[in-house]
Amino acid sequence: MNTENSLNSKQKEAVEATEGPVLVVAGAGAGKTKVITERIKLLMKNGVPPEEIIAVTFTNKAAGEMKARTIEQNSDIKKFRLPFIGTFHALGLLMMKENAKKLGLSGRFTIIDEDDSIKLVKESVLELNLDIKQFDPSRMKHQISSFKNKLVEQEECAEEGYFGEILCKIWQLYEKKTKAQEFLDFDDLILKPTRLLMRDKNTLEKYQNRWRYIHVDEYQDTNEAQYMLSKLLSAKHRNIFVVGDIDQAIYSWRGADFRNVLSFQQDYPDAKIITLEENYRSTDIILEAANAVIINNKMRVPKNLWTKKTGREKIKIMVAEDEKIEAETVAFEILTLKRGRIPALEMAVLYRTNAQSRAIEEALLSHNIAYRIVGGVRFYERREIKDLLAYVRLVQNPQDEISRKRILNVPARGIGKTLATKIFGKTIPLKPEEEKKIKDFEALIDDLRKTSAEKKPFEFLRYAVQKTGYRRYIEDGTEKGMDRWQNVEELIAISRKNEDLEEFLEHVSLFSAEDVYEPEDGSGKVNLMTIHSSKGLEFEAVFVVGMEEGLFPHVLSLDATDLEEERRLCYVAITRAKTKLYLSLAARRAIFGERISNMPSRFLKEFPEHLLEYQEMFPPDGGLPEIIIE
């Protein structure tokens, strides 16, 4: 491998810093993935066994890209076993499987998603005779997750006064339910291994000796538990290599703490700090604008992105009378770009809130512009996918009451709500015909369980669909029914990659909140998404709509700390663009049924005027109010 020709000087310096703690401050589009993978290659070339190297990141997509790049064009590496390259949650799951007995777990357990976690919290709230409105299950689950991510013990939450005492009771009952049904939620996958290492010196030493070189991607997105896990694993050999950028820290609401980047320098005073500033994505015009905006934040590690890519087009500012004309203007520009031979998949419309997509969608539909909403209803959250996965989960884990409740009458088999209440209440005696319905259902599950032991996952899924009559159930002659069946076929296709159902369930369970799975071909469609969903992506042309005070920055994020995150969000949005960037705002906008007038976003005033060009509006006959950005 020759790093001389493929890396710039700073990238090369980072790759060759193979010993001791290293912090790489990597700007947007600066080639951080390349640096991590080239460093892993160099370590193995220098004789480090691959099993002593790990690299963790936050999405399966990022992990997959790292794996592919690690082995590409290097036949020598293919002879070895690959290092562990995966998400934090995949690493946690591996450690939990290897230490199941120490963690009080049986050999088999089920990883439940956020929706199922909230259901268990709701059950806990109701069983405690609490007001479901006052103690909203989603809010309670979010608070429990927050405590877990901060490594807070259950007893400690009771110190938070009356609310803390109630939350503690809900949490205890929630944990009791998960344990009884052999469930783990997503937070457990990090919390339990981290606590094990904190409490068991022998296990800690085992993993420290096993993994001598630790790589952490997107370090600014780590929470307290992830930070502690990586710190513990690397404490003995101190070969920890982290890549992060405070300027792209936009997930505080998910528990991420960008201050971990600053703490790294305190934890390792001798750390080598390398800044990657050369950008390979955007034009110099876009980068000058990005630098001008983000420099207004106080909490950051200084850097200044630059590029050799000279831009010819200024950033276009589009001012509309209302959100409908804003959307029409975006549609008009998309058609113009398509005529200019920019493919639809290279265009993205970004918005701060999901509610903004409605006007955009209507305009695109009226002009026959195909689009896809990225990060809307995720693939594994779709009804038909959750139904089939519930069958698989119940077959694998007979204690799984959530899955049993979901599919008891799916497809319909005469077990309505009244009978279901009797079954799970276990107090009211069943009538003979009711007992028969339950016995038939249990016989179906027993048959599926027996079949699962004899067939590969894709064969089993096809059998389950046929045996349950699920295809007839969802194919109702409508277009939606057809879409549902196509999703089922996609799930079956995905399962071909796995040898057994346990492995298959692990694969689908590890798709985190950061992952966006898009099975359909989006090559001919414009991308619509929130700015949060756009992180890690890039497009030739980007439209950022709704550049107004109260919308972006959001009205709930105007204090000093939150405002800095909103500015980082703006920085992320504009650095998604390669060559064309459009920023739009409306004089008046309907939000939640109320028509309001907002001032232009303060972020617009932070762009240097010489980089901007005011775009003629659609329709071109004018009549728009004058809005001055001072």
Active site (catalytic) residues: 32-33, 217-218, 248, 576
Helix or strand run (H / E) with residue 243:
strand 240-244
In Å, what is the CA distance from 290 to each residue of 162, 606, 628?
45, 9, 21
330 by DSSP, 3-state: which?
helix
CA atoms of 28 and 278, how far apart (whole Å): 9
- The partner residues of 597 in beta bridges, in order of sequence, read 588
CA atoms of 65 and 52, how far apart (whole Å): 20
DSSP notation for 300-327 = S-----B-S----SPEEEEEESSHHHHH
Question: Among residues 229, 194, 233, 228, which one has the least CA distance to residue 211?
Answer: 233
Question: Among residues 487, 498, 500, 599, which one has the least CA distance to residue 551?
Answer: 599
CA atoms of 604 and 630, how far apart (whole Å): 9
Cβ partners under 8 Å of residue 235, min gap 6: 208
CA atoms of 65 and 111, how far apart (whole Å): 24
Question: Among residues 345, 315, 294, which one has the least CA distance to residue 572?
Answer: 294
* Phi, psi (degrees; rounded to nearest 5) at 586: -125, 145
**Strand ranges in 526-576 using DSSP code E only, listed in sequence order:** 526-530, 539-544
582 by DSSP, 3-state: which?
strand
Alpha-helical segments (H) within 454-496: 457-468, 470-474, 479-495
CA atoms of 564 and 558, how far apart (whole Å): 9
- The partner residues of 580 in beta bridges, in order of sequence, read 541
**612 in Cβ contact with 285 (< 8 Å):** no
CA atoms of 482 and 475, how far apart (whole Å): 6
**Strand ranges in 40-147 using DSSP code E only, listed in sequence order:** 53-57, 84-87, 110-111
The C-alpha angle with vertex 430 and arms to 426 and 434, in degrees rounded to 5, equals 120
Question: Cis peptide leading into 619, omega within 30 of 0?
Answer: yes
Q: How many Cα neighbours within 13 Å face the side chain of 69?
A: 19
What is the rounded (10 degree) CA torsion for 478, 482, 483, 485? 140
